[in-house]
Amino acid sequence: MKIEWESRNMVTVDAPLELVAMCCQAAEGVTLPCAVHVLLTDDEEIHRINREMRDVDRATDVLSFPSVNYRPGTTARSSEKRLRREWDPELGACMLGDIIISYPHAVMQAEEYGHSVRRELCYLLAHALFHLMGYDHMEEDEKKEMRKMEEKALGMAGVTRDDGALAPSDGELCALARLAMQKSYSPYSKYAVGAALLTADGRVYTGCNIENASFGLTNCAERTAVFKAVSEGVQEFAAIAIASNGAPPYPCGACRQVLNEFAPGIRILVTWGENQMEETTLPQLLPHSFGPKDLP
């Protein structure tokens, strides 16, 4: 999921919003590349937009304007043809629509509900994204379904009500790896790879392979994900899913050694083709390994 950001109040947001967007798409089961435009603004502007677009004379927390016209009773997962109609060649993705979030309103609601501004912004983005994917909450059964999807996506992203994490299933972890693969920079090999690294506490870090004209400087998707996690202070991992657009993407020797540094017993899921998947463990791929335990 690509997010086209626009901020009118120049607020820097310390929240995993891109991961939340990817988790929403994975929870919905949409595999096409998708994009969304997000405007972060203030109460005054969102009040004006409400008045002009919805005849509502007040500020609200979030607005969503979908690009896709779904059939009644359907959502994005069963609307591939309609999604493809919104293909933007410049973005290389299907544009789902526009989201407008009032940052001051998010701060106020975070205080009211007793959780972090980070969590509130993640929730508002997930809520709006599911609107863009065809969900609504006018009827009680619709509301329950939408809330279930919101909490599922936020849990996958490690942003629950108490900022804890709800670990994704193996299938969801593989779906996140496939979405991460869409960001691959692989102009030389044409072999795109994505990885989704599951931490011991249930969070997910994603990565893609990043090639370089000096081929030896290429970085694999697995190491990209591991380095992102370690750079944020996380060093305990439970599983990693690796997706490719070609042959089964078993980790190379360098990636096996890097994984062994932090998680010598990690589970490894590889997925390719039409959702083909195999599971193994690092000890099976790297027998007689050498790691921190072997140093004096």
Residue 222 bears catalytic tag:
yes
Which helix (H) or strand (E) covers residue 99, if one does? strand 93-102
Report residue 150 as tokens.
């919101």
Q: What is the pLDDT along the chain (296 residues), one digit of tens a residue?
A: 888 888 876 566 666 888 999 999 999 999 999 999 999 999 999 999 999 999 999 999 999 999 999 999 999 999 999 999 999 999 999 999 999 999 999 999 999 998 888 899 999 999 999 999 999 998 999 999 999 999 989 988 888 655 455 678 899 999 999 999 999 999 999 999 999 999 998 889 999 999 999 999 999 999 999 999 999 999 999 999 999 999 999 999 999 999 999 999 999 999 999 889 999 999 999 999 999 999 98
Are 13 and 102 members of one domain? yes
**DSSP assignment of 116-154:** -HHHHHHHHHHHHHHHHTT---SSHHHHHHHHHHHHHHH
- Domain membership of residue 265 (yes or no) is yes
Q: What is the rounded distance in angstroms from the CA atom of residue 153 to the CA atom of residue 157?
A: 6
- The domain that holds 117 is classified in CATH as 3.40.390.30
Domain that holds residue 149: 2-156
Are 27 and 110 members of one domain? yes
Q: How many CB atoms are closer than 10 A to CB 16? A: 21
Which of 111, 139, 222, 236 is catalytic? The answer is: 222
Task: Note whether 268 and 280 are within 8 A (CB).
Answer: yes
Partners of residue 3 on adjacent β-strands: 36
pLDDT in tens, 71-87: 999 999 999 999 999 99
Long-range contacts of 56-60 (CB under 8 A, 24+ apart): 59/102, 59/105, 60/102, 60/105
Total structural domains within the chain: 2
Are 186 and 213 members of one domain? yes
- The domain that holds 187 is classified in CATH as 3.40.140.10
Q: What is the rounded distance in angstroms from the CA atom of residue 126 to the CA atom of residue 108?
A: 18
Domain limit, last residue, from 87, 121, 156: 156
- Domain membership of residue 162 (yes or no) is no
Are 176 and 150 members of one domain? no
Q: What is the rounded distance in angstroms from the CA atom of residue 81 to the CA atom of residue 92?
A: 16
Are 141 and 188 members of one domain? no
